[in-house]
Structure formats: structure tokens, C-alpha cells
Homo-oligomer: A and B are copies of this chain.
Amino acid sequence: MAKRVLKHAILGLLRKQDMSGYDITAEFTKEISQFWSAKHSQIYTELKKLLDEKLIEQYIEISGVKLERKMYKLTEEGKKELAQWLMHPEQIPETEKDTFALKVYFIQYIPEEKILPLFQDQLDQREQKLSELKSRYQLIFAQREEKMGLAADELGHYLVLTKAISREESYVDWLKKSIRFIRQKR
């Protein structure tokens, strides 16, 4: 009994508009990449499976003279499947994999003088990411939130962007606290 998350992620993307495998791959480099992504090789394979399952249909669009874009469109079955998946609550996972946290668990085996640089590197990366996310937020949602509301099709985007920001803020806070704790403890 597998979870088939990618399957439903693709159905979700196609729910808004017909897309090619290339388009779907591109979507997975945008906002949603904070929470799910896949390489084109996996996407093209998954699209074939979804065709088999009759959750999507294919048609061809010509770009330029002869380049065939294979466009995919949700079937009624596909819409139903997506709705079912979206409405069905799931157990939260016991494990949320994080290599840095795993290394920190083994901190006693890291030479004293390498510890703070490791934390500092992680902090730099996380702050960089946080600042990018905040820029995006400013660009898209600042002002609007209060004045006019959001359009219905922007709510999901808004919520996941605030989620990503919240996650990175929490990461940065913990890193800063940890750095202080390690410094003070020496």
C-alpha cells in the first residue's frame, strides 16, 4: 500500500490547467518545491501510469514547426481521485529527515573547533533561504492580506509560503540558540 504522493501532486497541478510534462517539471521548481518536487524522469514515467489509470488524457500541441508538446488533461475520474486524496487526513510521519540534525546528534564526535563553523554555515544557508522566501512574500502578498482579501486561487499559495517562512524562521531561531548555548557552555 504505497502513498503515491507524486501521482496526486501531478493531478493537483493539472487541476488548474492542462500542462505538459515539461511544464509540470517547471512547476516543481516554484513555490511548491518547498514541500514536494521530482525530476523530469520520474514525472514522465508517472504521467504514463496516470494515463494507464485513466486519470488523465493526452493530446498533442505543436510548438513552432514540428515540436510536439504532449499536453495532459484531468479526466472526471482524475478530479474525483484528487478530491478524495485531498479530503482524506493522514497520519503525520514519525520521521522528518534532516541530515544536519542527524549530524548534530553526533556532535560529540566532531572536533571542537569545527562545530561552530558547521553551525554558522547552516545558519548562513538558512538565513539566505529565509530572506528569499520573505522577498517573494513581499512581492506577492504584502499590503493585500489586509486591504482586499486574496483571490480564491491564491489562498493555497499564500498559506504554503507562510509555512515555508515559518519553518525557516524556526530553523534559524534554533540555530542561533544552539550557537549561544554551545558558546556559553565552553
What separation, in Å, do the CA atoms of A132 and B126 have in the docked complex? 27
Closest beta carbon of chain B to A14's beta carbon, Å: 11
Is A97 interfacial (CB-CB < 8 Å)?
Answer: yes
Q: Are B32 and A102 closer than 8 Å at their CB atoms?
A: yes
Number of residues from A at the complex interface, CB < 8 A: 71
Among the listed stretches A17-25, A52-60, A81-89, which one makes contact with chain B, having 4 or more residues with CB under 8 Å of it? Answer: A81-89
What is the bound-complex CA distance between A125 and B92, given in angstroms? 7
A109 touching B15, Cβ below 8 Å:
yes
> Which positions 105-120 of chain A face chain B at CB distance < 8 Å?
105-111, 114, 117-118
| CB < 8 Å neighbour of A12 from B32, B89, B102, B122 | B102
A108 to B174, CA, bound (A): 33
B166 touches A173 (CB 8 A): yes
Secondary structure at chain A's binding surface: helix, strand, loop or mixed? helix
Partner of A178, one of B3, B122, B162: B162
User: Given contacts A114-B87, A174-B163, is CB(A126)–CB(B94) below 8 Å?
Assistant: no
A-B contact pairs, 7 of them (CB 8 A): A5-B102, A35-B98, A37-B95, A108-B152, A155-B185, A159-B178, A162-B174
> Which of A's residues lie within 8 Å of B, judged by CB?
3, 5, 8-9, 12, 15, 31-37, 82-83, 85-87, 89-92, 94-111, 114, 117-118, 121-122, 125-126, 129, 149-150, 152-153, 155-157, 159-160, 162-163, 166-167, 169-171, 173-174, 177-178, 181-182, 185
